[in-house]
Amino acid sequence: MAVDAKAGARPAADRPVPPRRTSRERPATRGEFWWWMFMRISGIVLLVLAVGHVLIMHVAGSGIDRVNFGFVAVRWSHPFWRTWDWLMLSLALLHGVNGLRVITLDYVRPPGVRTAINAGWAIIGTTLFALGTVVVFTFNACAWPGVHIPGCPS
């Protein structure tokens, strides 16, 4: 059965009827299958973490206008928000870098260039993960002169 890419443009009458299918095909190899599954699991978690983050930081209240060092200091005085931000950092970077990897595999054909570009994404992702992790867990607002937030020794 010949199906060309413009099938959708044909009149309805002679458009080929797609067969009933059970569900979309899944990746065949074990590694790709688990990346596929990771994208969906991390996607559900990021639906809460990233959409929540965007609504809290960019929409609610006065949005980004109220964000400054003091705002972050108060926010990160709660372990809850540090955990939220670190989990979001980890999952979003992995989810996003894997997305870039899949897109690179789709559009870049020469094997050497593919590997080089994907190595680049991996290096950027790993570096930013390390930077973000160090900052989230070592941040100490009270260490800076002139910063007075609840919880700092006076």
Where does this chain bind another protein (CB under 8 A)?
Answer: 1-3, 5-9, 18-27, 40, 43-44, 46-47, 50-51, 54, 58-59, 62-65, 67-70, 72, 89, 92-93, 96-97, 99-100, 103, 124, 128, 131-132, 134-135, 138-139, 144, 146-147
DSSP secondary structure code for residue 35 in this structure? H
The rounded distance, in Å, linking the Cα atoms of 119 and 97 is: 10
6 vs 112, beta carbon nearer another protein = 6
Residue closer to another protein, measured from CB, 105 or 116: 105
CA Rg value for the chain: 23
**Minimum distance, C-beta of residue 39 to another protein, in the bound complex (Å):** 9
**DSSP per residue over 37-78, as a string?**
HHHHHHHHHHHHHHHHHHIIIIISTTGGGG-SHHHHHHHTTS
- Least gap, CB of 50 to another protein (angstroms): 6
DSSP E strands in 21-151: the ranges are none
Cα gap 104→106, rounded to integer Å: 5
Taking the complex as a whole, how short is the minimal distance between the CB of residue 124 and another protein, in angstroms?
A: 6
Q: Which is nearer to another protein, 43 or 113 (CB)?
A: 43
67 versus 112: smaller Cβ distance to another protein: 67
Closest residue by Cα to residue 140 from 90, 96, 77, 94: 77
